[in-house]
Amino acid sequence: MNGTERAAIKPGLQVDIVLKQDQRTGKLTRGIVKDILTNAPKHPHGIKVRLADGQVGRVKNIMP
């Protein structure tokens, strides 16, 4: 599942995000959602979240 809809993302979910510095390469970072930073219900590049370890990026995949 992709991460463009805010309703699909909840704290505690495991997700793959793209960090700001990895946007050119598309390198994914996996982690657990701590906070949802995007207020809009949808975002074409993915909802911005903060992971439990403090990293911030846009959600590309939601793990089942």
Average pLDDT of span 22-36: 97
For residue 9, the cross-strand partners are: none
Pairwise CA distance, residues 28 & 30, whole Å: 7
Is the per-residue pLDDT at 54 higher than 90? Answer: yes
Angle at 42 between CA 48 and CA 55, to 5 degrees: 5
Is the per-residue pLDDT at 12 higher than 90? Answer: yes
Evaluate whether 24 touches 63 at the Cβ level (below 8 Å).
Answer: no
Q: What is the pTM of this model?
A: 0.93
Average pLDDT of span 43-55: 97
Q: According to the model, what pLDDT value does residue 1 have?
A: 78
Q: According to the model, what pLDDT value does residue 40 have?
A: 97
Is the per-residue pLDDT at 14 higher than 90? Answer: yes
